[in-house]
Structure 1
Amino acid sequence: MADPFKLRDYQGELITQTRDALREVNSVLLQCPTGGGKTALAAFMAGSAAKRGNRITFGVHRRELIKQTAKTFDKVGIPYGIIANGFTGDRHQLVQIASIETLRRRLDWYPRPHLYIPDEAHHAGAATWAEVIDSYANKGPKGEPSAKIVGLSATPERLDGAGLGRWFQKMVLGPSPAWLIDQGFLSPYRLFAPSMPDLSGLKKNGADFARGALGERMAGASIVGDVVKTYRELAHGRKAMVFCVSIKHSLAVVEQFQRAGYRAAHIDGDSPNRDELIAAFESGKIEVLSSVDLVSEGFDLPAIEVAILLRPTHSLSLFLQQVGRVLRPVYAPGYDLETREGRIAAIAAGPKPYALILDHSANTIDREKGGRGHGLPDDERPWSLEGRERKKRGAGGEDEEAAVTTRQCPQCFRVHRPAPICEGCGFEFPSMGRTVKELEGELQEVERKTAQVERKREQAKAQTLEDLIAIGKARGMKNPHGWARHVHNARNQKTQQRYAR
């Protein structure tokens, strides 16, 4: 691959825009999607500022992210110290990688930085984060000048949708996930929502579900069993990361996968053998790695081929952080990664031609259908320092948002953008309008759901390709032969997969 310190063209443009913004204000939020290279941007900014004799502090909130950032800085030759419990620091280095919690307690131990870069800056509203940012944004106790602040985030808003304008004065927007996928910087994906949990009556803790009750509900035998069954049908043998609600929930999932004959393991922030587990997962010795929040933010593990979502959440940020883990591409060697065509060919030839997302949490499903309504990973989202616009209140007193336009195939459970035919199995959706039928002089409405069931039954009864073609012609399709072949081939493929197991 190319020199890791060589910025991509769009990254260079983001650096230029950020520098221009810092000439006008002291605090800037740099938004860039998960997998867009935020750590590389931070390394470039830190290295450039240090060459001019400036002090830089890069703030993170997890021990794993300290190690990951340190590896990146090592690769590009940036000397650094570490401010965190359990690490030997070096106060003489201009660049410091800091645990934000430790940094808050030691603000007066180190000289104030000229540039402070908090990673995952959507947490800025948390007390610890806000205290550090406010301290550096103001002059020091001895009149030291305020620092320049560049926050990094893929999802620049708080859990409740509130903006971050209290801490940042300008926002620099990066490319969209859809553009990064099209250019080969992220992997294409397929998304299925094979089952939906019943979360009625669950209590909330703030704006999201209360973890205790949610963990008990999601650890039910029927849900976990369905997860293993779906993995076997859609992702057998591919490296999967499971996102769970709690450690207890994660351990239950691991046990079920192991009973089914899969090599599965649990990993969390306190696992003493984290590095060994990750190495085993990358090599294929472990097929399924189950976690809670360890890999939700800033965790770079391109080997993940399948993301299994078992954590229902109202947080758009948490949802995008989780699905972003599986969108990182794995490039096959021998291709020109400097061109879009080379990157796309390298993904297609590698071990992960596409990412697979199994959304058992219904996070992608529209709210009107009982889901969380976050939409697809590469939907366009209008990020703003003011946050999301508040919508009208629903019957339960909660703020409602406009419905996210996703469609789920009732036949193969694939979730996709609205289309008349499922892009996965060829299922033809009934007309969005209602069918009106005349019986004995009276008009009676046939609800869409009823019509949909009838059409599905009719299609299921078709045993041969000719039967399917006849149905396509009867429905007035423009290309009944093509649709019939698509459905027929999909059936044959499923049958072959069953016998192969």
Structure 2
Amino acid sequence: MKFTLLDHQERALDLLRHSLATGHKRPMIQSPTGSGKTVIGSAIVEGALRKGNPVLFTVPFLSLVDQTVERFAEQGIHSVGVMQGYHPATDATQPVQVASIQTLMRRKLPRAGIVLVDEAHRWFDFYGTWMKMPEWQNVPFVGLSATPWTKGLGKHYDDLLIPTTTKALISQGFLSPFKVFAPAHPDLTNVRDVAGDYHEGQLSEAMSQPVLIADTVATWLRLGEDRPTLCFAVDRAHARKLADQFEAAGVPTGYVDMDTPPEERVQIGERLKHGQIKVVCNVFTLTTGVDWDVRCIILARPTKSETLFTQIIGRGLRTAPGKADCLILDHSDTTLRLGFVDDIHHDHLDTGARNKSKATTKERDAPLPKECSACSRLKPAGVRKCPSCGFEPERQSQIEELQGELIALKGKRKNNREATHEEKQQFYSMLVWLRQERGYAPGYVSHKFKDRFGVWPRSMIDRAIEPDAVFLNWVKSKQIAWAKRNKKQEAAHAA
């Protein structure tokens, strides 16, 4: 072996050996972005070659073929052939064959003693067909992914192996710490869902509002510290607008989409590395297979997908000399909606069942982060003092006692300050929790919110947090008021 394995990489191999030894044929290795999945894959390949087993390594995109060959060469594995058109490395006699899944769909499958499926969360129906072919049923298929959470993946893979987690690798220094700011809160009220995520056309329109585009650039100029930055946009039109706005502000900017040639993409990466450009705006293309030195992520693409969110943020978590942390500028509310990326974790594959069991959901429901009202830094729930600006909000009662009756201040503090978006979201989330806990009707949350602030809720994130004493006092005051009114009415009727 020409490379040294870290503890979590050794653990991945031990878990795989045990899985195969106990009869599993379709194990899935879940290992975070930046954990060295290439090294793990190379070790698996080397072990197979020592036993005389040919290897077939598949990737979901053509652009990853050459990168895979290069990575194998860096690990000392040179007996590699490529299945791809007129590729110069085409050599069917080599014991390791690398191919995209698209190529394999159109070709006769080569003989292999083991199949490695890279970025295995990218599911293609052909994988399912292939795995069921009689001549392949006893051949191990080993999935490699940082986010193997695709719905129904558990129908095809039979053992999830978790050698480590993002949180563990950050604490051990193998991945970079990160800090998140949420400087904008887009209005996605009129954006509908399609297949579990936002409708792309409507989302692009919502995120392309001039004020949001301008705010994205202004925030980077204020907080970005000239860090090498990847900006993730909704679609090409949105990415172009962002790139144009950065250029207009004097920030050298690159642009990448699915049609960007591989050699041009490499050049853009080199220019980012050497500081010739500061920001690269992209659409979906830099979420996998990118190991650039990225120190800032701009998330201008809201998503409900934990997989997409984790893959995006993962681009900035690789360590590098002189890198203290990764700065995440979240203009999408995704972190507020899904939580910090190192709190997202699953310990079972999704079988696609309609009614999911507890085992298929998050390992633990970590409380969602809260926004500092002074600087927009997101901080863990329960942390009062902002780690960036030091602001610590004072607890202020939102209840006044008037003539012996507790009443709510209608949308304003005692000092007549309008309630902030953060305060409204917190109140809304407590209502959600109370409705779920007590089984109230769905309309309870909206009506109580309007009762409290005088307006119907808009742009609120539908998440639940446990109520604090101030909130419960307000609820109690409304119940007391209702009881008194009811008592008076009964007395009036009795008279």
Q: Which residue of 1 aligns with 2:158?
A: 169
Q: Is the 8 A contact 1:137 1:148 kept in 2?
A: no
In the other structure, the counterpart of 2:94 is 93
Number of corresponding residues: 407
Task: Report if the CA contact (8 A) 1:82-1:98 is conserved.
Answer: yes
TM-score normalised to structure 1 length: 0.76
In the alignment, residue 307 of structure 1 is paired with which amino acid?
I
> For residues 321 and 453 of structure 1, do their structure 2 counterparts lie closer, same or farther at Cα, with a shift above 3 Å needed?
farther
- Does 2:359 align with 1:358? no
Please give the per-residue CA displacement for 1:269-296, whole angstroms capped at 9, x wherever unaligned.
Answer: 3223222111101111010111111111
Which of 403, 412, 436 is residue 375 of structure 2 equivalent to? 412
Question: Structure 1 residues 391, 166: closer, same or farther in 2, change over 3 A?
Answer: closer
How far apart are residue 360 of structure 1 and its match? 0.5
Structure 2 contact 229–296 (Cα < 8 Å) conserved: yes
TM-score by length of 2: 0.77
2:234 alignment counterpart: 245
Separation (CA, whole Å) in 1 of partners of 2:411 and 2:310: 32
Q: Quick check: 1:430–1:451 contact (8 Å CA) kept in 2?
A: no
For residues 89-140 of structure 1, the C-alpha deviation after alignment (integer angstroms, 9 at most, x for no partner) is: 111111111101111211x2x433111111111223x32xxx2344245422
The answer to whether 1:5 aligns with 2:15 is no
Answer whether contact 1:156 1:384 (CA < 8 A) is retained. no
Query: Offset of 1:451 from its aligned partner?
Result: 6.5
- Confirm whether residue 304 of structure 1 aligns to residue 294 of structure 2: yes
Unaligned runs of 5+ in 2: 357-363, 421-495
Using the TM superposition, give the Cα deviation of residue 312 of structure 1 relative to its aligned residue in structure 2, in angstroms: 0.9
CA offsets 1:208-238 (integer angstroms, 9 cap, x no match): 1222222222122111100000001101311
Letter in structure 2 aligned against 1:14 = A
- Of 226, 229, 253, the residue aligned with 1:264 is 253
Alignment of 1:132-211 (within 5 A): 132-140=127-135, 146-158=138-150, 162-211=151-200
CA distance in 2, matches of 1:357, 1:447: 35
SS in 2 for 1:12: helix
Aligned residues of 1:197 and 1:362 also touching (Cα < 8 A)? yes
CA displacement, residues 180-201 of structure 1 (integer Å, 9 cap, x when unaligned): 0111100111101100111112
- Residue 449 to residue 380, structure 1, CA distance change in 2 (3 Å): farther
Distance 1:356 1:448, change over 3 A: farther
Which structure has the greater CA radius of gyration? Answer: 2
- Name structure 1 gaps, 5 residues minimum: 332-349, 366-372, 393-400, 458-501
Equivalence for 1:288 = 279
Inter-partner Cα distance in structure 1 for 2:130 and 2:257: 32
RMSD: 2.6
- Counterparts of 2:404 and 2:352 in 1: how far apart (Å)? 51
| Paired amino acid for 2:119 | E
Instruction: Report matched runs for 1:340-355 at 5 Å.
Output: 350=322, 352-355=323-326
Shift of the 262–439 alpha-carbon distance from structure 1 to 2, 3 Å rule, reads same
Contact 1:80 1:97 in 2 (8 A): yes
Supply the distance in 2 between the matched residues of 1:111 and 1:456 (Cα, whole angstroms): 65
The answer to whether structure 1 residue 219 and structure 2 residue 190 are counterparts is no
Q: 1:111 to 1:390 in 2, by over 3 A?
A: closer
Alignment partners' CA distance in 1, 2:282 and 2:243: 10
Amino acid of the structure 2 residue aligned with 1:53: G
Instruction: Give 1:402 shift.
Output: 7.1
C-alpha distance in structure 2 between counterparts of 1:138 and 1:123, whole Å: 20
The one-letter code of the counterpart of 1:245 is V
Secondary structure at the aligned position of 1:122 is classed as coil
Matches of 1:407 and 1:306, distance apart in 2: 20
Once residues 363 and 90 of structure 1 are traced to their aligned partners in structure 2, the CA distance between those partners, rounded to angstroms, is: 45
Query: 1 CA distance for matches of 2:70 and 2:128?
Result: 25
SS of the counterpart of 1:117?
A: strand
Q: Deviations over 1:229-276 (max 9, x none)?
A: 000110131111001111121111110000000101101232232221
Change (3 A) 1:71 1:276: same
The change in CA–CA distance for 1:438 and 1:389 in structure 2 (over 3 A counts) is farther
Change (3 A) 1:403 1:379: closer
- Identical aligned residues as a percent: 33
Tell me what 1:342 maps to: none
